[in-house]
Structure 1
Amino acid sequence: MTKMLAAVAVGGAGIEGVNVHEVDVPEAGAGEALVRLKAATLNFRDIIIAKGMMSGLAKEPDYVPLSCATGEVIAVGDGVTRVKPGDRVNPIFALGWLTGPQPTMDMLGGRADGVARQYATFPADSLCLVPDSMGDLEAATMTCAGLTAWNALFQHRPLRPGEWILCQGTGGVSLAALQFAKAAGAHVAITSSSDAKLARARALGADVTVNYRTHPDWAAAVRSELSGKGVDIIVDVVGASQIDTAASLLNPTGVISAIGMLGSKFSWSQADVGGHPVARITVGNRADHEAMLAFCATHAIRPVVDVVYDLPRIQDAYRHLESGQFFGKVGINLL
């Protein structure tokens, strides 16, 4: 096979600027692996880049979108020993970010071509082996949303058994944090505007659920459910518009893991809120990714994929994500 399907997008052109074309299958060069990608998932970041909501995130003049996928190694180039044909793998979020602080801005689906395609080559050292306990779609949730949730809980202030976290909404990051926290012996409070989604969150183990539309003073409702106690980590995916309210729930040694901007601008510009540190979460490196996958295998974590679209319907997948009418992750079938 010499041709494949690939999505190509123009940063700032909107969802209509994401289109699928037939292109050549690449070949693995020295130090690279050719991967047959099988499943991918979307993140809110993909909408940010497509719509140009933040400048400088997209490769010019165009880019292959999406950062999260699972695939099978088909061939390897000279000098590759890390992976072999037949291995199931995740490409890591930022190519070449193996340990320590982030040294590169080559993030998939932005400044580096992403995974919304059927075949791709990657540096072999930027691939992680996927455990047999996870299906392709499940593992395809881990690269961005899963790893972001992992570092929100365990990087700056490691979560301890018996502690509490607060998750905002029921998207991929929040549900991954819920699952990780419960597996680690902690407790979870979660908010949403949908009682149906909150019921599903309870089925996943959420201890306290609050509908923020039914309870406009949702922080007071959460504290009431906790008998006046607070939480230890806030998984902040909303951003600055709700950060003060969320921080009011923190225990004295609590931390805000600042991740998203679903409701406003990021909270990253603030060093602290109400005396609580704001930890800027920027996904994570290969070592973090491998630790997370090992944890998932040990604790039989099964990530939630709500709906799956075929690659030619990628615009519909974007619109479904934008609508907010999902629970967990929106997937793309690349087969």
Structure 2
Amino acid sequence: MKAYQIGNQNGLECLTAVNRPDPVAAPGQVVVAPRLISLISRDVQILRGVYGPRQSPDRIPMSEGVGVVVSVSEGVDNVAQGDRVVCGHFAGWLDGPFRADVFSHDVGVTHNGWLAERVVLPAEALIRVPDNFDDTRVAGLASVGLTAWNALLEVAKVKAGELVVCLGTGSVSLFALKLATALGARVAITSSSDAKLAVARDMGADILINYLTHPEWAAELMAQTGGVGADIIIETGGQDTLGQSIAAAAANARIVIIGVTPGTTSPIPDYTALILRNVTIRGIANGNRSMFSDLLAAIDRLGIETFIDCTFPFDKAKEAVAYYAEGKHIGRVMISMPG
């Protein structure tokens, strides 16, 4: 089969096209033929060697995708050949609260991911895709959509009328924008690009803040909310933005930390604000299979579609990663498989 591997993880050029034998499913496993693959920020971080410990150079990357089951091992009965499926990237986290050991099977990191003509996945982790969902609607949900769902629904318990801040116009922020507005919340969003903010406005954002024009964006948010602030902040910026997120928080706000970008400044410059505003700060790591099933049901009920920037063919995967890494896109960058 054709595949890509991450190489020595010294930069984007380490992504290498290779040929490998087709994988065979061991007991409890399924072989899936990917059809559409979606890029996320950690795909770039892995290739640059800045996402956790370096992995085996022959690791196949990419954590999000949709594909068709081509073979199942003996005893597998929850999916069958020909089923279209998705899989959360923490393949061993099926239900219940987060456990530290969910990182032991992380698709595209500790185990081979989707950027190949065949991928082996645990059968119990797979979810059959409803027939009325096309590939573009589900290929980018396993990391981005599921993380936004966990942040807004499971942790923050978003309610209609609350103000949600989404930092930046990356994939998680844009999905959180669509999900929050569909659930009746108001959304403020930040970006360094007025053009991207215009797109976010068209997607339903209520408050738009360019953080180049307003470097102290938290003060601008407070000004636009009459000093009230935000109820929920989807903190995707990393350590350097946490201080402003706290400054932008309303009383009883919930800050959900998703971004893992290393920072250079103190994450909590105003420690007492946490107490004075009764702020909750919670870090999350994606979500479980049960949440994923709930997410699929919700986007069907709410009519949420995936916003796509562009799609590259499989043989142009390196170009897709380079384009994604430039950060000029808005919406999902995808890779399609031939056929």
Note whether the superposition's TM-score is higher than 0.5.
yes
- Confirm or deny that 1:76 pairs with 2:75: no
What is the correspondence of 1:53-92 to structure 2 with a 5 Å cutoff? 53-56=50-53, 58-92=54-88
- Provide the secondary structure at the position in 2 that maps to 1:33: strand
Is 2:20 the counterpart of 1:17? no
Tell me which residue corresponds to 1:50: 47
Greater Cα offset, 227-236 or 169-178: 227-236
The CA distance in 1 between the partners of 2:18 and 2:51, in whole Å, is 26
Residue 265 of structure 1 deviates from its aligned partner by: 6.9
The amino acid that maps onto 2:68 is E
Q: Secondary structure at the match of 2:20?
A: strand
Aligned residues: percent identity?
34
The whole-number CA distance in structure 2 between the counterparts of 1:62 and 1:269 is: 39
Give the AA of the match of 1:174: S
Q: Which sections of structure 2, spanning at least 5 residues, go unmatched?
A: none
Which residue number in structure 1 is paired with residue 32 of structure 2?
A: 35
Greater shift after overlay, 40-49 or 260-269? 260-269
Segment drifting more, 232-241 vs 213-222: 213-222
Aligned to 1:278: 281
CA distance in 2, matches of 1:52, 1:266: 22
Call closer, same or farther: CA 1:267–1:151 in 2, change over 3 Å. farther
Aligned equivalents of 1:253 and 1:9: distance in 2?
43
Aligned to 2:102: 104
Map 1:259-274 onto structure 2 (within 5 A): 259-262=258-261, 264=263, 274=273
1:150 paired to 2:120: no
Instruction: Give the superposition deviation at 1:203.
Output: 1.1
Question: Displacement, 1:67?
Answer: 0.3
User: Secondary structure of the equivalent of 1:155?
Assistant: helix
Residues 31 and 70 in structure 2, CA contact (< 8 A), matched pair in contact too: yes
Q: How does 1:175-254 map to 2 (within 5 A)?
A: 175-254=174-253
8 Å Cα contact 2:243-2:267 kept in structure 1: no
Report the more deviating stretch, 115-124 or 261-270. Answer: 261-270
**Whose relative contact order is higher, 1 or 2, with alpha carbons under 8 Å and at least 6 apart?**
1
User: What CA distance in whole angstroms lies between the structure 1 residues aligned with 2:163 and 2:67?
Assistant: 35
Task: Verify the 8 A CA contact 1:258 1:266 in the aligned structure 2.
Answer: no
**Distance change (3 Å), C-alpha of 1:266 and 1:11:** farther
Bigger CA drift: 309-318 or 160-169? 309-318
Shift in alpha-carbon separation, 1:51–1:257, aligned structure 2, 3 A: same
How high is the TM-score relative to the length of structure 1? 0.92
* SS of the residue 2:155 aligns to: coil
Mapped contact 1:258–1:267 kept (Cα < 8 A):
no
- How many residues get paired? 330
Q: 2:215 and 2:267 mapped to 1: Cα distance? A: 25
Q: Deviations over 1:199-246 (max 9, x none)?
A: 111111111111111222322222222233211111111111111112
Query: Kindly tell me: are residues 132 and 263 of structure 1, through their superposed partners in 2, closer, same or farther at Cα, counting changes over 3 Å?
Result: farther
Cα distance in 1 for partners of 2:265, 2:121 equals 30
Amino acid at match of 2:147: T
Q: Distance in 1 between matches of 2:215 and 2:153?
A: 30
* CA distance in structure 1 between the aligned counterparts of 2:272 and 2:115, rounded to whole angstroms: 38
Structure 1 pair 293–175 and aligned structure 2 pair: CA distance change class (3 A): same
CA-CA distance at 1:75 after TM superposition: 2.2
Aligned amino acid, residue 130 of structure 1: V
